[in-house]
């Protein structure tokens, strides 16, 4: 019985197959063919994308059921892009104004597939540059390099780039100045370079401003800390009645104010309370410290908030030590050169050296707190610099 049923079932199947074949005489024999497909994107977007000037979008494509693909830009084959079936590629050249169409064409035994994506560039605005010496404000001719293009200033330190994105990385080079990496924008025109002139060297700047450990007692390169407002020096109860000590401050602090060209008021208070709203710096004797004197400064994002200057003994409150420690209040580190904070200090030298003055002026007049070495301000795209928060002790 079971056997008979199976025979009947087989016969029904054969009849059905015969009907189907008879009903579709043109149907080819063999498996159904696979359909070739292709797709292409710009920065992950299909069909179209909009990008900023000078950026380099990523073009990616995928395909199936094909044996090879080629990419064309505005109809022209990009032969060096290869024949991969699936790939992605960041453009070698930055985008300039206009529109470009990228198309992928894939072919195989079952036919071809084509897909395209349109890349439109946002229009830019003119970018004006006025490049000058950060200390003297005199024009400096420089080479200005954006992502891929270099421009030379006109001979008076100025340059116009007709079409630029709203923000862009820029590197500025000129002989006799530190290379400056910063952020350019259509709203910014002033770019101030840091002069490297004898006796101020690149090493000296690294030591004095960025704490490079090639100088004595420095901790190593770090983001720049500095004062960013008025300072008041005041005294412990023990020192507040010592007119000789107060007198040395009243002659020493104006030298520091002159060194920074009076960027901020520096006030000596003959008493035990700082002026409110100032960076308060207390002066005291502390016999427990290991050196003749030290300065501890507290910063928030590289901006000085307060400080303490400690002297081991009353005798250590000399003109030299007072003026040396005062420079630490501005954020100046030790260095190997001449000057009140230099290793080669001479007892006759009671004012800051030209290099010390120049570097302190660059710090307080030109550079934002948190600027990092190499001379790369924290605004530069990708620099990711952040000002230091905490307390730093300048040893001795
Ligand atoms: Zn020191």
Average pLDDT of the chain?
91
CA 394 – ligand 1 centroid, Å? 5
User: Would 5 be classed as within a structural domain?
Assistant: no
CA 202 – ligand 1 centroid, Å? 20
Query: What does the pLDDT read at residue 393?
Result: 96
Q: What band does 92 get if pLDDT is binned at 50, 70 and 90?
A: confident
CA 117 – ligand 1 centroid, Å? 62
Q: Is residue 181 predicted with pLDDT exceeding 80? A: yes
CA 296 – ligand 1 centroid, Å? 10
CA 286 – ligand 1 centroid, Å? 16
Give the distance between the most distant pair of CA atoms in the chain: 127
- Identify the CATH number of the domain in which residue 361 sits: 3.40.390.10
User: Would 2 be classed as within a structural domain?
Assistant: no
Q: Is residue 70 predicted with pLDDT exceeding 80? A: yes
Together in a domain, 210 and 260: yes
Query: What does the pLDDT read at residue 139?
Result: 98
CA-wise closest residue to 86 among 59, 118, 61, 105:
61
- Residue 315's domain spans which residues? 202-395
CA 237 – ligand 1 centroid, Å? 24
Together in a domain, 210 and 147: no
162 burial level (CB within 10 Å; 0-12, 13-18, 19+): exposed
List, as ranges, residues with CB under 5 A of the ion ligand 1.
394, 396
Together in a domain, 215 and 288: yes
Q: Which of 64, 88, 121 is the last residue of a domain?
A: 121
- Identify the CATH number of the domain in which residue 101 sits: 2.60.40.10
Give the number of domains in the chain.
Answer: 3
> 214 — phi, psi (to 5°)?
-70, -10
Together in a domain, 323 and 298: yes
CA 354 – ligand 1 centroid, Å? 18
CA 268 – ligand 1 centroid, Å? 20
Together in a domain, 339 and 222: yes
Q: Is residue 261 predicted with pLDDT exceeding 80? A: yes
Q: pLDDT tens across 97-146, in order? A: 788 999 999 999 999 999 999 999 998 999 999 999 999 999 999 999 98
Together in a domain, 106 and 152: no
Q: Is residue 162 predicted with pLDDT exceeding 50? A: yes
**Average pLDDT rounded to a whole number, residues 78-84:** 92
Residue 209, classed as helix, strand or coil, is: helix
User: Would 101 be classed as within a structural domain?
Assistant: yes
User: Would 116 be classed as within a structural domain?
Assistant: yes
CA 330 – ligand 1 centroid, Å? 12
Gap between the Cα atoms of 267 and 256, Å rounded: 11
Q: Which of 67, 99, 121 is the last residue of a domain?
A: 121
CA 214 – ligand 1 centroid, Å? 15
Together in a domain, 242 and 305: yes
CA 343 – ligand 1 centroid, Å? 10
Encoded tokens for 305: 């908030």
Together in a domain, 232 and 360: yes
Query: What does the pLDDT read at residue 293?
Result: 97
Q: What is the DSSP letter of 319?
A: H
User: Would 3 be classed as within a structural domain?
Assistant: no
Q: pLDDT tens across 321-346, in order? A: 999 999 999 999 999 999 999 999 99
User: Would 316 be classed as within a structural domain?
Assistant: yes
Give the strands of the sheet with 76-77, arranged side by side.
Answer: 48-51, 111-121, 99-108, 68-73, 76-77
CA 321 – ligand 1 centroid, Å? 8
Q: For residues 192 and 133, is the Cβ–Cβ distance under 8 A?
A: yes
Residue 313, classed as helix, strand or coil, is: coil
Together in a domain, 174 and 323: no
Encoded tokens for 248: 């040395």
Together in a domain, 176 and 257: no
Together in a domain, 138 and 116: no
Residue 379, classed as helix, strand or coil, is: coil
- Identify the CATH number of the domain in which residue 166 sits: 2.60.40.1120
Q: Which of 86, 105, 121 is the last residue of a domain?
A: 121
Q: What band does 191 get if pLDDT is binned at 50, 70 and 90?
A: very high
With a CB cutoff of 8 Å and minimum separation 6, the contacts of 91 are: 56, 57, 58, 59
User: Would 30 be classed as within a structural domain?
Assistant: no
Together in a domain, 217 and 340: yes
User: Would 208 be classed as within a structural domain?
Assistant: yes
CA 318 – ligand 1 centroid, Å? 14
Which of 13-27, 155-169, 381-395 shows the lowest mean pLDDT across its residues?
Answer: 13-27
Query: What does the pLDDT read at residue 170?
Result: 95
């Amino acid at each position: 019985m079971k056997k008979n049923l199976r025979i009947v079932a087989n016969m029904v199947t054969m009849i059905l197959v015969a009907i189907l074949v008879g009903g579709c005489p043109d149907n080819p024999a063999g498996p159904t063919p696979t359909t070739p497909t292709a797709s292409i994107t710009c920065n992950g977007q299909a069909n179209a994308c909009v990008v900023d000037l000078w950026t380099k979008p990523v073009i990616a494509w995928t395909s199936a059921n094909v044996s090879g693909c080629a990419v064309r830009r505005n109809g022209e084959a990009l032969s060096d892009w290869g024949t991969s079936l699936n790939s992605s590629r960041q453009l070698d050249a930055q985008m300039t104004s206009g529109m470009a169409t990228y198309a992928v064409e894939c072919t195989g035994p079952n036919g071809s597939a084509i897909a395209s994506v349109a890349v439109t560039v946002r229009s830019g605005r003119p970018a004006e540059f006025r490049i000058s010496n950060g200390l003297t404000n005199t024009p400096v001719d420089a080479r200005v390099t954006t992502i891929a293009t270099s421009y030379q200033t006109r001979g008076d330190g100025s340059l116009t780039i007709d079409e630029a994105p709203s923000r862009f990385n820029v590197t500025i080079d000129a002989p006799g100045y530190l290379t400056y990496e910063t952020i350019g924008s259509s709203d910014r025109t002033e770019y101030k370079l840091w002069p490297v002139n004898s006796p101020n060297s690149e090493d000296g700047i690294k030591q004095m401003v960025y704490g490079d450990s090639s100088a004595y007692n420095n901790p190593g390169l770090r983001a720049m800390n500095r004062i960013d407002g008025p300072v008041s020096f005041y005294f412990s109860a023990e020192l507040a009645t010592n007119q000789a000590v107060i007198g040395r401050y009243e002659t020493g602090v104006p030298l520091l104010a002159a060194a920074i060209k009076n960027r901020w008021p520096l006030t000596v208070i003959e008493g035990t309370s700082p002026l409110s709203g100032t960076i308060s710096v207390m002066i005291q004797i502390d016999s427990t410290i290991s050196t003749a004197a030290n300065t501890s400064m507290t910063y928030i994002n590289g901006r000085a908030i307060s400080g303490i200057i400690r002297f081991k003994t009353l005798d250590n409150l000399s003109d030299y030590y007072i003026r040396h420690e005062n420079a630490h209040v501005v954020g100046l580190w030790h260095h190997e050169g001449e000057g009140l904070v230099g290793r080669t200090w001479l007892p006759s030298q009671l004012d800051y050296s030209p290099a010390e003055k120049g570097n302190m002026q660059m710090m307080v007049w030109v550079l934002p707190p948190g600027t990092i070495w190499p001379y790369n301000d924290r605004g530069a795209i990708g620099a990711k610099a952040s000002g230091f928060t905490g307390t730093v002790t300048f040893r001795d």
